[in-house]
Amino acid sequence: MSDTKNISRRNVIKGAGVVTAAMAVPSLWTGSRAFGAETITVADVGGATAPAIRTAFYEPFEKEFGIKVIGIAHDSDPVTQFKLLVDAKTYIWDACMVTQDHVARLTKPKNYLADLNIPASRAQDILPGMLTNDWLGFSVFGIVMAYRKDKFANNPPTSWADYWDTKKFPGRRGLYKSGWGVLEMALLADGVAGKDLYPLDVDRAFKKLDQIRSDIAVWWSAGAQNTQALQSGEVDISDTWSARGYAAISAGAPLTILWQGLYSVDGWSIPLGCPKLDLARKFVEFCIRPEQQAIYSSIVANGPSNKRAIELLPPERASILPSAPENIKGLTELDSVWWGANFDAVSERFQEWMLG
């Protein structure tokens, strides 16, 4: 290992070490640059991830450029908020954390996203597909299964078919209260291979969901709720977003993550017409840096999009991330184009299905 890598890794550890303070104490804007300083407002997913985002991105950006970042949480699905913001020209955000399928819904049939204007030279270490003209992915997450080791010690589940088998694998079950990701799990449980998931057979998926519906103890609708249910033992087995599952493990829950399911990516986009476009672009470009992404992935169990960031992480940490080779081989990329075209129709059908 080179001296440069040693220094960089120490910086990552140092950055991760201040997350406790970030969680406990509001960020203060002090010093000579506070007076008349530029500000931007960034909408993120909130919850347990927010302190990591502040530690890895907001605070270092403020320190280096003198631009204060105000972080706020958006809805679990921010697309409607995003569209209203642009249409009404009420720019309460200057950048927003969105997934690839959000981007698909924000660009067709009408475009709501500004060009990031990131030079090609800055993109050479970014994983394929994780930087476009209007979106920078920085946080790879898995949509996977978590189960309690104490409940399934002698008979652990090994597939989504096992999740559906309530007789062989009895226990309280949790499931995301949305068709997004859940339809895919239903099809995997019904024997569809990951490579054959898309286009989704929606009728087949709902037919499979009919089989498990009465066995769901908790329909969770937010990541924090999922973590709490797993941590408290309210559920014994559930789908989860990988970082949420590991948050429960870090808090002492006896859980195992089963790396079967999907992966997707959270990233930054800027609303079209943003009056602070140059500042927002500067922030997004800052988030490409491997040192900042490594700090983020050292705090939450989401994988970086910059390949060099993995090299800055201890091997034991890198091994629990969705983008680790041994983990991602069991995951299929969520098809954002399909969901962009079908989200509204599937959501309406899912809500009708929930009402019975």
60 and 31 in contact (C-beta within 8 Å)? no
Q: How far apart are the first and last CA of the chain?
A: 59
Residue 151 shares a structural domain with residue 63 = no
Q: Could you tell me if residue 322 is inside a domain?
A: no
- Non-local (6+) Cβ contacts of 194 within 8 A are 188, 331, 332
Lowest mean pLDDT among 45-49, 140-144, 154-158, 339-343: 45-49
Q: Could you tell me if residue 57 is inside a domain?
A: yes
Q: Could you tell me if residue 324 is inside a domain?
A: no
Residue 113 shares a structural domain with residue 161 = no
Q: Could you tell me if residue 325 is inside a domain?
A: no
Query: What domain range includes position 344?
Result: 141-264+330-355
Percent of the chain exceeding pLDDT 90 equals 78
Q: Is a pLDDT exceeding 90 seen at residue 30?
A: no
- Non-local (6+) Cβ contacts of 138 within 8 A are 130, 265, 266, 267, 268, 287, 288, 293, 296, 304, 305, 306
Q: Could you tell me if residue 85 is inside a domain?
A: yes
d(CA 339, CA 94): 25
Q: What is the CATH classification number for the domain harbouring 58?
A: 3.40.190.10
Q: pTM for the full model?
A: 0.78
- Taken as a whole, the chain contains a residue count of 356
Residue 38 shares a structural domain with residue 111 = yes
Residue 214 shares a structural domain with residue 339 = yes
The region that residue 265 occupies, defined by phi over 0 for left and psi between -120 and 50 for alpha, beta otherwise, is: beta
Residue 30 shares a structural domain with residue 123 = yes
Q: Which of residues 40 and 336 earns the better pLDDT score?
A: 40
Number of structural domains the chain divides into: 2
Cα separations in angstroms, 225 against 153, 169, 228, 302, 330: 25, 23, 5, 18, 25
Q: Could you tell me if residue 323 is inside a domain?
A: no
Tens-place pLDDT, residues 219-276: 999 888 999 999 999 999 999 999 899 989 999 999 999 999 999 999 999 999 999 9
